[in-house]
Structure 1
Amino acid sequence: MNCKATWMAICLVLASMVTQAAPREQRAAGDFDFYVLSLSWSPTFCLTHPGNEQCTGKGYGFVLHGLWPQYAKGGWPASCDARSRLSAEDLAKGALIFPTQALLKHEWAKHGTCSGLDASRYLEATDTALATVHIPQQLQPFNVPNYMDAGEIAALFRQSNPAMGNHGMAVICKGKVLSEVRVCLSKELRFAGCPKSVKSQCRGGDIRIPVQR
């Protein structure tokens, strides 16, 4: 048995596996293709995070999760400037749009630093993105049904946002429970068609929509 040849073959296989598992090369901050605006269904989050600040009887429905730079071919840049910190003014501005300060800091560090914008302008862009998307009346807190098909949820969003188009958002579930919706926006914060990398992730049939907390 040729042990040297055997070990050489094993090394080549391992090297191939490492190459295949390597993440997509990250571009410079600001060099991305579109945004995803993620809106989390707060009652679902609160099922597993009952002690979180946003889960203290505030009655939230959809809340801002984040505004994420994305690549059209899949993947996204992340944590582009580990040294960046939010100023007191930024924290105050962010408190008006994010449900908690901890989420604000996390989203800025992971996603905002890759936008190519400073913190103040990124928060302004996030606020503009939020204002662009109208939450359907049927999915407002204290008005939502306990069960609904994911396709119905998407249809309601399209009805409330005519410029969205048929492929402008995705509905995300955890099991058979509504988790969030993701809306695709251009870098100019206009509705855009989602690429194949952004798609609904829910099982067929009705999904549960937990009540407010």
Structure 2
Amino acid sequence: MLCLIRAKGAPEHPQPDAPLWGRRDVRQWSVPSVAPPVQVSPHPYENFESLIFRVAERNALGSASTAFQALGAHCSRPSRYCYKHLGRLLGIEPASLAAMLPTVVDGDLHILGHQLLRDRHIVRYASRLCPLCVSERGYGALEWSLAPFAVCAEHGVYLVDRCACSPKRSLDMFRHSYFTCTNLLESNVM
């Protein structure tokens, strides 16, 4: 049986703000992370999902989920550790990274960008985008994460949150590209 506990006399690897699981540091068992060779800087008011897709595309990682694995991101919720860890690897200030993700302040209050919002005003589990903005600029806007916005302010078109080939399938972080859904790629293979 493989022993996951550190042996006496083994070299110590400093890990800041380590979460404890029982009495052991969980991060000592995690996969090592590597900074991507091509650094990507965020655009003003870009959303986090768009940034991760651009990192994956520029570094030929295939998808955002592969980029998360390569970066060693094991953050299910935004936290100081997540910002420090990803910020260091991506070469982005933790404050800039924190502005891209909703951060819990108190109960259902969150900060997104520089706004204090209730949980119901933030779209969390699905992606939304304006196809015209993405084709022009190449990145997604932070304002698309706000639930009350259903129409692009610049183009006046509805934000897309479902796959065109399968309306029951919502866009998520596991698709292969920011522009195409997983279902479309699977149908082209067959």
Same-fold status (TM-score > 0.5): no
Interval containing the TM-score (normalised by the shorter chain): under 0.3
Q: Which has the larger radius of gyration?
A: 1
- RCO higher in 1 or 2 (8 Å CA, sep ≥ 6)? 1
Q: What's the TM-score once normalised by structure 1's chain length?
A: 0.24
